[in-house]
Structure 1
Amino acid sequence: MTTGSAHFEFGLNSFGDIATDGGRIQTDAEALRLLIEEAQLAESVGLDVFSVGEHYKEDQVDSATPVLLAAAAQATSAIGLGTSVTVLSTQDPVRLYQEFATVDGISGGRTQMVLGRASAIESFPLFGYDIAEYEQIFEEKLDLFLRLMREDRVTWSGAYRPPLDDVRLHPRMPDGGIPAWIGIGGSPDSVIRAARHGLPLMMAIIGGRPERFAGHAELYLRALSSFGHAELPIAQHSLGLIADTDEEARSVHWEHWRPVVTQLSEERGFYPPTAERYAEETDTGALFVGSPETVAAKIAAVARANHLSRFDLKYDLRHLPREVREKSIRLFGERVAPRVRELLDADPGEWRLTGRRPAQIVKGGKAVHA
């Protein structure tokens, strides 16, 4: 079940949020260049994966994720490069395959993806898709994308793109494709989908007690077995910020988190932020905000509860100062990650470590991509 805490992975996630620099809001071009610098920093402090999301809103510059990852590939040499997430529903799977095959080749095999249906739906009207077909679009495109990754030649037809007749795409991905996770926000149907397709699970936990997802993790592990798949990694994505003290981290994060969540509450109709709810989220909820020791203890606890082999921190936030972002990244890699490994070695609990590249399984003694 475990192979040692050295195999527990730590990822850094960005949604391309624009930072401030000396009190000045960065331009879009400056924000893009900052992301490449932060990928380099993440590698230098020993983190395992740097991922960029896909959004189409003001103050976020991650709409062309493969381009950003290709630039990061040239600026780094070892760190994994991924997505958080790729909105597969509004992408063309053929073009997506070609883009990520290109990034994987440029990076020397360091690319991976998290595939999702989208919690933010701005891309649906932008690219001419009907949100009423949300589920059907994703299922069809996932089927095609996985076939393109797993098969040498593909003949296919569906409702949302022209048919393919004995197509072999170029450039080629490695045999079996690149690591691809299914991102979920809490739907049991999505958990079952990941298991059915033999894909690792990325749980986006952005509110409430993270431990409530333990049931999803256990459902996933049972479903993998029922579908005849080997055990695969489970990961968690959550928001946070790390500073020297709990007080500093919470004060700075609250200042920038509050306006973002206020806007989201107005757009989506959920609770407006209050100091009391914020304290609850940082104490026992899904915000990983505090000193290195506080954040490490919280990650270790949720790793045990949710059967994790990887934890990803969404570190950026609209107009957060770039020096605050830098410090948080440094503390995450240099202080939090080693401390989590110490805590898990001392008390492993139910956490799971595969020691394999995400989305790999073992068949006949040979590791292959799931």
Structure 2
Amino acid sequence: MRALLTFVGGSGHLDPLLPVARALAAAGHEVAVAGSGGPVARVAAEGLTALPTSAPRPPAAPTTGPTTGPTTERIPVVPVDRHATEVEFAENFAGKATRRHVVAVAEHLRAWRPDVVVRDETDFGTAMAAEAAGVPCATHLVLAAGTLPRPELVVPVLEAIRDEQGLPPDPSLATLGRDLVLSPFPPSFRHPSAPLPDTALPYRPRPVVPEANGRSVYVTLGTIFNGESIDLFDRLLAGLADVPADVLVTVGRELDPAVLGPQPGHVRVERYVPQVDVLPGCALVVSHGGSGSLMGALEHGLPSVLTPLGADQPHNAARAAELGLARVLDAATVTPAEVTAAVTAALQDEHARERARTVRAEIDALPGLDAVVPRLEALAGH
């Protein structure tokens, strides 16, 4: 079987697909991954066929220079406008990216001739290209709460492109979940207003991990927003200085920890440390609420303190707070004193920890990757 996996955007869209790609390759299938030119360069290192759909962007400018030293400019974090982020999502993913991928992926379908396609859920262009080519297309979810790609946001944009491509109207988005929907999230976390379709297979993308049993605090703002969040890191670190726990803060590969200045002995700042090495020794995660960071915490039974910065993060944060899994702070206005109070209270909150353990048990009970491959084989007719 030949399987083509596709994504739009950055690592947050590619990374969730890689466990499926590895499982398919391990089962003896031919696997290719198509997506944005920068992240897709990592695919070849996995031993998979890489099919770029755009040219790579220039690398990000470092935060240090040979003559100027560490950059110290503090740009205030922009307040999150949830409606504006939703409109931006519709314009960028349902609009620009769809127009790009419906053409680029159609070319890969003709040249590579896969038996089945697996697209990240924000890759609407691939869904249209596969529909036009008559290739079965599974959807892989990447947005945990499920409330960002709402029909009222994306349907008007997508319908215009469907018309341009000669495809029939799909006002209910039925074609997107018609074949198979793979969900790497616990079903209880998805918002009731966005129920999974009958074709959904919730699964556990990674092996079961030990429950976290530590006392430290882990802080991350992901891989996209951290370079723009020095101001927020300043305030988080100032608040964490008064927290009675060891603290690890990761700031990303492009940001020099020296920019943030000296820290007290119980606070350690690094560019990057694998979460798998950190989370087992934690009691709490402070993050932006990205789907990957939030699910990583829950896989280890950890509650969170969340400072959403954009994209699907406000949706995830609202859902986590609703379920008693997290406290939510305003990234634009939060003060060091509020950080100290929220983190200290979260470390003492046994109810939140018990709720996180319950979700962890739900994740552990989900079928693993060994259930995904047969479903894709069946979809492809193998």
| Both structures adopt the same fold (TM-score exceeding 0.5) | no
Question: Rg bigger for which structure?
Answer: 2
